[in-house]
Structure 1
Amino acid sequence: MAGTFSQIYIQVIFAVDGRRSLIRPSWEAELFRYMKGIISKMGERPLAINGETDHVHIFLGIRPSCCLLDLVREIKKATNDHINTRHLLEPRFQWQEGFGAFSYSHSSLNDVIEYILNQKEHHKTLSFKEEYQKLLRQFSVDHKEEHLFDWVE
Structure 2
Amino acid sequence: MSYTRIWVHLVFATKNRTPLLTKEIRYKVQNHIIENCKEKSIYLQIINGYTEHLHCLISLGKDQTIAKIAQLIKGESSFWINKNQLTEEQFIWQDDYFAVSVSESNLEIVTKYIKNQETHHAKKSFDDEVKEFEKLYGF
Q: Counterparts of 2:105 and 2:3 in 1: how far apart (Å)?
A: 17
Q: Which residue of 1 aligns with 2:111?
A: 113
Matched, 1:85 2:102: no
Stretches of structure 1 that go unaligned for 5 or more consecutive residues are 142-153
**CA contact under 8 A between 1:8 and 1:64: conserved in structure 2?**
no
Q: Counterparts of 1:48 and 1:136 in 2: how far apart (Å)?
A: 22
Greater mean deviation of Cα atoms: 132-141 or 56-65: 132-141
Give the superposed CA RMSD: 1.3
Q: Counterparts of 2:79 and 2:3 in 1: how far apart (Å)?
A: 35
Deviation at 1:39, TM superposition (A): 2.0
Tell me which of 95, 98, 108 is aligned to 1:97.
95
> SS state of the match for residue 97, structure 1?
coil
Q: Which residue of 1 aligns with 2:57?
A: 59
Would you say how many aligned residue pairs link Structure 1 and Structure 2? 139
Stretches of structure 2 that go unaligned for 5 or more consecutive residues are none
Q: Which residue of 1 aligns with 2:43?
A: 45
TM-score, structure 1 normalization: 0.85
Matches within 5 A, 1:23-34: 23-34=21-32
Q: Which residue of 2 aligns with 1:150?
A: none
**CA contact under 8 A between 2:26 and 2:50: conserved in structure 1?**
no
Greater than 3 Å deviation, 4+ residue runs:
none
Q: Which residue of 1 aligns with 2:34?
A: 36
Matches within 5 A, 1:3-42: 4-42=2-40
TM-score, structure 2 normalization: 0.93
